[in-house]
Amino acid sequence: MAILIRGGRIVTASDDYQADIYCEGETVTRIEPSIDPASLPGDVEVIEASGKCVLPGFIDPHVHVYLPFMGTLARDDHESASKAALAGGTTTLVEMICPGPDDEPLEAFETWRSKADEGCACDYTFHMSVVRFDESAQEQFRKIVLEHGIASFKVFLAYKGALDLSDEDLFELMKMAKELGVIVSAHCENAAAVDAMQKALVAAGKTGTEWHEPSRPTCVEASGVNHITTFAELTGAHVYLVHTSCEEAVRSALEARHRGVNVWIEAVAPHLTLDKTYAEKPDFEGAKYVMSPPLRDVKNQDFLWNALASRIVSTVGTDHAPFDFEGQKPMGKDNFTLIPNGIPSLQERVDLVHTHGVKTGRIDLQTMVDACSTQAARLLGMYPRKGTIAVGSDADLVIYDPDWTGTFSLETSFSRVDYNAFEGWEKKGRAEVVTVRGAVQYRDGEFVGTPGRGQLVPRQRTHG
């Protein structure tokens, strides 16, 4: 059924105006000051948006759904994760495919894709992690890019002996990325330094959650940024720095950018709103807040928000990685290095940015749209199909009520994880109606769509 959205305030990364939007099939077909429903052919659902914002569907550029990690599996599947995404106004997920070093890359891609195909209620694509780079793997990576439209690799400068690449392989991978025109997303730390710090702390009996941040301090993250941007400078590859947590790392990226390196910066919702004192909570409560890079000193938050306001930081993601507080996090009860990492925030991301960014005056609404949707679409090869509201774009739309107030809670979460890291926090604003390619999938706090309706989004290769 066609949809007419009437009387809303349309906000994109660059525009802010009043108009009606008509969607037929899966795309936006008309945007006009006023569209008379009586003039439209066939059945049309009219959605009144007076007093509300109409925003492009949000894109989370960094999520984990199917995630084997530290001997366990993340709690969400693609049905629960996509419902959580839609409840937060997110209509496209960019999931990390994370095979082990002994796995075949193409087989891993097919595994992750098949799981998304089964239950994802929103659209999706992937970053393909590279944890080995022998001749066979190289050929498979080419197929994944050229035949399946996956236009980004992921590398880990962390997790020594498990996911990290040698410098020789990293250099060759980045040469391939440049050749293929794909972007390299990078987890920036220093695997050897983190490994040494962790071993020293554990040997000294410092095993609690409060030691997670000291085991991988800000200088280690900045070192990783310098490492990857040096290789980008040498090869001409384009790099995207995921979950950048601190001033030192951002400044390292800016130094590279001033040298002409093609580098973009992602922040994530936990680093913008939580600080390291949460991971220091007693009685193992801090395990809820263990992620890598870790939560930082609160002083970094103002720096990140300012960098977001000036659009030095391009995107806001989540690094959503849902592990239960009961039954999974306690794997590291006696050794913080064994705690499954992750702070679930897929459903909460946009509302956190609106509450703590827009409503406080740190950023404006157009910057929120840019960081939570448009820049991800541009950088990852989906624009203008995704990330904006324009004739011909996918009808991924969010009718957002900026004046709604409530609280974040586990009770209203669609994720299957057993806690909410933001439990009881005030929430200002929420997605009221969410469409994915012209079909209403979420309305007034309820999932009303179809699991499995999501599609893989083939992406353009624009980073050659």
- Report the pLDDT averaged over residues 123-141: 96
Q: Considering the domain boundaries, does residue 337 fall inside one?
A: yes
Q: Considering the domain boundaries, does residue 24 fall inside one?
A: yes
pLDDT tens digit string along 42-63? Answer: 899 999 999 999 999 999 999 9
Q: How confident is the model at residue 160 (pLDDT cuts 50, 70, 90)?
A: low
- Report the pLDDT averaged over residues 307-333: 97
Q: Considering the domain boundaries, does residue 464 fall inside one?
A: no
Helix, strand, coil share (%) of the chain residues, nearest 5: 35, 25, 40
Residue 197 and residue 172 share a domain: yes
* Domain stop point among 357, 379, 401: 379
The strand pairing partners of 434, in sequence order, are 398, 442
Q: How confident is the model at residue 464 (pLDDT cuts 50, 70, 90)?
A: confident
Q: Is the pLDDT of residue 107 over 70?
A: yes
| 403 CB neighbour count, 10 Å cutoff | 10
Specify the pLDDT at position 222. 97
Residue 269 and residue 246 share a domain: yes
Q: Is the pLDDT of residue 258 over 90?
A: yes
Q: How confident is the model at residue 70 (pLDDT cuts 50, 70, 90)?
A: confident
291: which DSSP letter?
-
Residue 240 and residue 156 share a domain: yes
Residue 131 and residue 223 share a domain: yes
pLDDT tens digit string along 165-185? Answer: 889 999 999 999 999 999 999
Residue 284 and residue 424 share a domain: no
* Domain stop point among 352, 379, 406: 379
Q: Is the pLDDT of residue 379 over 70?
A: yes
Q: Considering the domain boundaries, does residue 463 fall inside one?
A: no
Q: How far is CA 101 from the centre of its chain?
A: 24
Q: What is the rounded CA–CA span in Å between residue 351 and residue 256?
A: 32
The strand pairing partners of 45, in sequence order, are 3
Q: Is the pLDDT of residue 210 over 80?
A: yes
Number of domains in the chain: 2
Contact 317, 62 (CB under 8 A): yes
* Domain stop point among 379, 410, 436: 379
Tokens of 133: 């780079």
| 26 CB neighbour count, 10 Å cutoff | 14
Q: Is the pLDDT of residue 162 over 70?
A: no
What integer best gives the mean pLDDT of the chain? 96
Residue 173 and residue 51 share a domain: no
- The CATH number covering residue 277 comes to 3.20.20.140
Residue 195 and residue 145 share a domain: yes
Domain span at 350: 58-379
Residue 332 and residue 293 share a domain: yes
Q: How confident is the model at residue 442 (pLDDT cuts 50, 70, 90)?
A: very high
First to last CA, the chain: 40
Task: List Cα–Cα distances, 422 to 5, 64, 351, 410, in angstroms.
Answer: 32, 19, 11, 9
Specify the pLDDT at position 200. 97
pTM over 0.95: yes
Structure-model confidence comparison of residues 260 and 101, the more confident one: 260
Q: Considering the domain boundaries, does residue 384 fall inside one?
A: no
Buried b (16+ CB within 10 A) or exposed e, 289-314: bbbbbbbbeeebbebbbebbbeebbb
286: which DSSP letter?
G
Q: Considering the domain boundaries, does residue 19 fall inside one?
A: yes
Q: How far is CA 267 from the centre of its chain?
A: 9
3-state secondary structure of 290: coil
Residue 87 and residue 33 share a domain: no
Q: Considering the domain boundaries, does residue 455 fall inside one?
A: no
- The CATH number covering residue 433 comes to 2.30.40.10
**462: alpha, beta or left, given left = phi > 0 and alpha = psi -120 to 50?**
alpha
DSSP string, 136-159: HHHHHHHHHHHHH---EEEEEE-S
Contact 245, 296 (CB under 8 A): yes
Residue 12 and residue 73 share a domain: no
Residue 179 and residue 262 share a domain: yes
Contact 99, 105 (CB under 8 A): yes
Q: What is the rounded CA–CA span in Å between residue 382 and residue 155?
A: 21
Residue 205 and residue 97 share a domain: yes
Q: Is the pLDDT of residue 94 over 90?
A: yes
The strand pairing partners of 157, in sequence order, are 188
Q: Considering the domain boundaries, does residue 416 fall inside one?
A: yes
Q: How far is CA 11 from the centre of its chain?
A: 21
Specify the pLDDT at position 100. 87
